[in-house]
Amino acid sequence: MCLMAFAWQVGQYPLTLLGNRDEFHARPTREATFWTEEGFPQLLAGKDLDAGGTWMGVTRQQRFAALTNIRAPGAAAAPRSRGTLVLEYLTSDVPPDQYLEHLGASASEYGGFNLLVGNADALWYFNSREKQARALGPGVYGLSNGSLESRWPKQQRLHDGLAADPQGEPSDLLALLADSRTYADAELPSTGVPLELERALSAAFIVGEAYGTRASTFMRLDGKGGLSFVERRFGPMGVPAGESAWQLA
């Protein structure tokens, strides 16, 4: 994923999470579904068919994880795929703090990343540059391709939109992810990419022929062990390519 906002322990729901996955349209991907064929029927997630991992997922037991890349143009290819970090947590029963405990030692084997892992009772965050796991307290957070403390315009706008209505209906909250506006140059972060590309990437919903937003996802855990999950998919130039929804008690 490249952009998310999440409300943790705010109001009646333990978690409400919104996220956009931006990727090359040519990269093969399976839509979100339960991973029955892989032997993990409890896991609901999309699948990167190139490397085999996922960017976001949740289990019937309310374990969840999500990941964003840290933008680092020109960085050497890492030997391991970041998507395996999400998958390995979701297919284990290791508590979230213990899962992150030793990640600092192996973080350099992956490209730069932000990782959220949690369950209905705890949420932990790890940034591969900081190499320090930390528990997150109740609140609303925004995250993109920098860090949890970054204030990129699209990150802040999505945060503010969710903070205004953290108990909102899925369709209303998913509309926040469809924002394709770009921002003035003075507001843009400097991440090492050309200015024209920085402008294009400043949108929450990126529209492009070769690269853009591939999926918008809503995920919510309720206080009774259930979950809601909606995935909207898009093709080149932002053309809708399908939607799936689950409501599990």
How far apart (Å, rounded) are the C-alpha atoms in residues 163 and 18? 12
Q: Residue 142: CB partners within 8 Å, gap ≥ 6?
A: 4, 5, 148, 155, 156, 158, 159, 162
**Residue range 12-30, pLDDT digits in tens:** 999 999 999 999 999 999 9
Q: Which residue has the tokens 């991440």?
A: 191
The secondary structure of residue 27, as a DSSP letter, is S
By three-state DSSP, how is residue 174 classified?
Answer: helix
How does pLDDT run across 76-134, given as a tens digit for each residue?
889 999 999 999 999 999 999 999 998 989 999 999 999 999 999 999 999 999 999 99
Q: 120-136 in b/e burial notation, b at 16+ Cβ within 10 A?
A: beebbbbbbeeeebeeb
| pLDDT of amino acid 102 | 87
Question: Number of structural domains, the chain?
Answer: 1
Please give the residue range of the domain that contains residue 239: 3-248
pLDDT in tens, 92-107: 999 999 999 989 899 9
- On the 0-12 / 13-18 / 19+ scale of CB atoms within 10 A, 96 is buried
129: domain CATH number is 3.60.60.10
Full-model pTM? 0.96
Model confidence at 167, in pLDDT bands (50, 70, 90)? very high
pLDDT for the residue numbered 98: 96
Q: Say how far apart CA 92 and CA 63 lie, in whole Å.
A: 9
Total residues belonging to the chain:
249
> Given pLDDT bands bounded at 50, 70 and 90, which one contains residue 68?
very high
